[in-house]
């Protein structure tokens, strides 16, 4: 059952990512991105990384998406009222994706029961061992604040720049300038 849910969440994440890129409306792209981030959080739950799933939902699907929505509203990009379905090509693509998902689900339900190709290198045992030794938060925090501290700080700086840019864009322009 976990393998089937993994395939469903993966298909939703891939479909949402395609929707982010292919959507004509920025608001629709934002909603597709929220669906993608929520399905990634579902995958984290399946892998028993509940802390990562909670952080994914609170930080990315919550705070960052609200920041993106503010930028879209401030730049007045949400006034594209054209339909997203432009031709029969989208209908064909929708049927193809639906057929692919049905095939994957039927294979998971009725086909090969041994879907252990997700863990070819024995990573699950190493992760379980690390979680038993350090705890779930320790497994994430230790490399984050030792090996990847520069990337972590740069990410914080990037978020600060995004917030300052949103404030500058929201500030009314004076007549003197």
pLDDT at 109 over 70: no
Highest mean pLDDT among 71-75, 122-126, 127-131, 161-165: 161-165
Mean pLDDT, the chain, integer: 77
Residue 116 predicted with pLDDT over 90: no
pLDDT band at 12 (very low <50, low <70, confident <90, very high): very high
Band the pLDDT of 40: cuts 50, 70, 90: very high
Q: Where in the chain is the domain with CATH 1.20.120.1200?
A: 2-113
pLDDT band at 111 (very low <50, low <70, confident <90, very high): low
Q: What percent of the chain has pLDDT over 90?
A: 8
Q: What is the CATH number of domain 2-113?
A: 1.20.120.1200
| CA count, 13 A, side-chain hemisphere, 120 | 2
The pLDDT tens digits of the residues spanning 46-105 come to 888 888 888 888 888 788 888 777 777 777 655 555 555 556 676 677 778 777 777 766
The residue-averaged pLDDT of 126-149 equals 82
Backbone angles phi, psi at 173, to 5 degrees: -75, 140
Q: Which two tokens stand for residue 84?
A: 């997203």
Summarize the confidence of residues 38-52 as an average pLDDT: 87
DSSP string of the chain, one letter each residue: -HHHHHHHHHHHHHHHHHHHHH-SSHHHHHHHHHHHHHHHHHHHHHTT-HHHHHHIIIIIIIIIHHHHHHHHHHTT-----S-S--SHHHHHHHHHHHHHHHHHHHHHHHS-S--GGGGSS-HHHHHHHHHHHH-HHHHHHHHHHHTTHHHHHHHHHHHHHHHHHHHHHHSPPPS--
End-to-end CA distance of the chain: 62
pTM of the shown model: 0.53
Instruction: Indicate if the pLDDT at residue 110 is higher than 70.
Output: no
Is-contact 85 91, C-beta < 8 A?
yes
Diameter of the chain by CA atoms? 71
């Amino acid at each position: 059952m976990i393998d089937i849910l993994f395939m469903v969440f993966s298909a939703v994440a891939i479909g949402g990512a395609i929707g982010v890129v292919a959507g004509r409306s920025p608001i629709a792209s934002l909603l597709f991105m929220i669906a993608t981030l929520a399905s990634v959080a579902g995958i984290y739950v399946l892998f028993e990384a509940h802390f990562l799933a909670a952080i994914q939902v609170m930080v990315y699907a919550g705070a960052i998406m609200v920041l993106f929505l503010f930028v879209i509203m401030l730049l007045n990009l949400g006034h594209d009222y054209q339909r997203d379905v432009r031709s029969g090509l989208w209908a064909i693509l929708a049927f193809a994706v639906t057929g692919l998902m049905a095939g994957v689900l039927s294979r998971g339900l009725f086909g090969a029961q041994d879907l252990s190709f997700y863990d070819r290198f024995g990573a699950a045992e190493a992760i379980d061992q690390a979680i038993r030794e350090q705890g779930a938060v320790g497994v994430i925090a230790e490399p984050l604040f030792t090996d990847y501290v520069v990337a972590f700080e740069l990410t914080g700086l990037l978020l600060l720049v995004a917030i300052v840019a949103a404030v500058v864009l929201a500030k009314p322009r004076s007549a003197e300038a």
